Chains A and B, each alone.
Chain A
Amino acid sequence: MSERRYALLLVAPAAVVLLGLVGWPVVRLLLDSLYTGSGLTGARRFVGLDNYVDALTDPAIRAAAGRTVVYTVTVVFAELVIGLGMALLFHALGPRSRMLQTLFLYPLMIAPVVAGLLWRFLMIDNFGILNELLYRVGLVDSPAAVSWLSDPDIVLFSVAIPDVWLTTSFMTLVLYAGLQSIAPDLYEAARLDGAGGLRMLRSITLPLLRPVIAVALVIRGVDAARAFDVILVQTDGGPQSASETLSLTVYKTMVTFNDPGTAAAVSTMFMAVMMAVALVAARTLWSDR
């Protein structure tokens, strides 16, 4: 058997499984998006692109798309700032900080459902420990000062907290690995030229870390945009849909309103936009320096 044949044989089973379990569902999704009527009653009618028009003109779906962007940017920005800060700290402290690194890593292994419920418990009105602690430290003037999950103005940011808590350490890990691959002589040379810490961060660390930051941002951005369980168990998208992102909208359109056509159309556009944004982001962040 030729080498090419053998190589093809090796990758074929995985390719077939992914085609069957992801490719085929995506095809069915595309087809579903062209029909109207509930899958349960069996009365389906071909409507062309009507579902897409409906979805694009529906203020509720447009609002959910906007919230998805805000949520994703919030999560990724917070993670980048804290994650980069911690990576720089661990790098400066050296191998002796390994114990701290291990402790910092653990949220990564916890189920998003558990994280969501846990934080809902911490932030809940009345007996939530978060407000109580903030009150004791003197940061707020009453234990009922912040209605984390019931105030529509802030809820979108509150539901992002567990997501940030879960995966900041992923950001730290990746950036820390990136930092370790930067040659120490560069800093040595800069120090001889009289550069200070901030200057070195701006002129050496950040530019060299750029490709690594790009990968981490794209991976986390894609994951944050798809967030579902974390939000579902905290607020179910409420109050007044103020924390409903697109994944929840699709789920509700499908399961609660039994409208598979619109749900499929929204999913399709969601998927297409996400791939496009990820590709463009990866390109720009990665290549030009």
Chain B
Amino acid sequence: MKRALLWTVAGLVVLVYAFPFVYLVLTSLKPPVDAIAVPPTVLPQRFSLDNYRTALAREGVADSFLNSVSTAAITTVLSLALAVPAAWGITRYRTRAGRVLLAGSLLVRMTPAVAIGVPLMGIMGGLRLSDTPTGLALAQTTIALPLAIWLLASFFESVPREIEEAALVDGCSRPAALWRVILPVTSGGLAVTGIFAFLASWNEFLFALLLTSLRAQTTPLAIANLQTQFGLDWGPMTALATLYSLPAVVLTLLLQRRIVAGLSLGAVKG
């Protein structure tokens, strides 16, 4: 009896949290006029893909997907390439430099993006990287890298010292031991960290707003730009938002257990 009540309460809260996204997807499948009908209905009365057609036909929208993918890919690779040695150095050798870096990346997390975004505009201009996926990816690395260092450090924490020592005894050099022995053992943690770095870039908006204009525009900007002088183009917005969120949502559902492990590890241990 009491358990049934608990299940009901939990189910209701989850339903409330699930509703907005379900409604987004359902609305995207309505004809554009029905999307803003008064009074609104939850279920589509008629089915149509017009919102998707309109949204994708907009200038720059298709390109923005490419930009989002390449920016997120560069951010992920760069963050992992830097975070793997750094996190290993921090957890395995426990030097003062490591502690400083760990504390430093926590401070970076507290820096408002809007504060460093403006100076970064000037710096990217100087490097001739304005309005390029590489420039944007460098800026987003300031978000993804500290996150990756913290996550990987907590994953490496659970690797027994003996594994590295055994590899060294077998004649491996230290870098080779990291690359060929430690990384394979922690591949799950590496994957989770990669996903978080990717999503940090995929969902990022402020740096994209400040550092790109038309050429390197990512999709979050394209979605926000569906704003017209008559207000927002709601139907196409729902279509584009659905397309952009779907990969992330599907990924969560598939990799739920690993993502949970990564998130709670990072926060509880950190």
Contact = CB atoms under 8 A, between A and B. Distances in A.
B115 A18 contact: no
B9 A89 contact: yes
Interface in B48-103: 82-83, 85-86, 88-90, 92-93, 95, 97-98, 100-101
A111 B205 contact: yes
A107 B112 contact: no
Interface of B: 3, 6-7, 9-11, 13-14, 17-18, 20-21, 23-24, 27, 36-40, 42, 82-83, 85-86, 88-90, 92-93, 95, 97-98, 100-101, 104-105, 107-116, 118-120, 122-123, 138-139, 141-142, 145-146, 149, 174, 199, 202-203, 205-206, 220, 223-224, 232, 234, 237-238, 241, 244-245, 248-249, 251-253, 256, 259-260, 263-265, 267-268, 270
Interface residues of A, number: 95
Contacts of A129: 23, 40, 42
A161 to B, nearest CB: 10
B95 A8 contact: yes
15 contacts: A11-B95, A22-B108, A29-B115, A89-B6, A89-B13, A110-B21, A111-B220, A114-B245, A121-B234, A122-B20, A129-B23, A169-B17, A226-B113, A228-B113, A274-B112
Interface in A265-285: 267-268, 270-271, 274-275, 278
Given A10-B88, A222-B109, A267-B115, A128 B123 contact: no
Interface string A92-123: 11000110111111111111111001111110
A104 B101 contact: no
A250 B264 contact: no
Interface stretch (A58-66, A70-78, A150-158, A171-179): A171-179
Contact of A100 (B11, B40, B244, B267): B11
A13 B142 contact: no
Interface in A37-93: 39, 82, 85-86, 89-90, 92-93
A106 B268 contact: no
A86 B119 CA distance: 41
Contacts of B86: 10-11, 13-15
B59 to A, nearest CB: 19
A187 interface: no
A82 B13 contact: yes
B17 A165 contact: yes
Nearest to A108: B252
Nearest to A82: B13
Given A8-B95, A14-B82, A271-B115, A178 B268 contact: yes
B23 to A, nearest CB: 6
Nearest to A6: B174
A108 B18 CA distance: 12
Given A26-B116, A105-B259, A106-B253, 4 more contacts: A7-B93, A24-B123, A26-B111, A89-B13
Given A14-B85, A92-B6, A103-B14, A22 B111 contact: yes
Nearest to A7: B93
Contacts of B83: 14
B224 A113 contact: yes
A220 B15 CA distance: 23
Contacts of B89: 6-11
Contacts of A251: 114
B249 A122 contact: no
A10 B88 CA distance: 8
A109 B199 contact: yes
A215 B122 CA distance: 35
B137 to A, nearest CB: 11
Contact of B110 (A111, A216, A278): A278
Interface in A132-191: 132, 143, 165, 168-170, 173-174, 176-178, 181
Given A18-B142, A22-B108, A271-B111, A28 B122 contact: yes
Given A86-B10, A117-B241, A128-B40, A109 B248 contact: yes
A85 B115 CA distance: 35
B115 A250 contact: yes
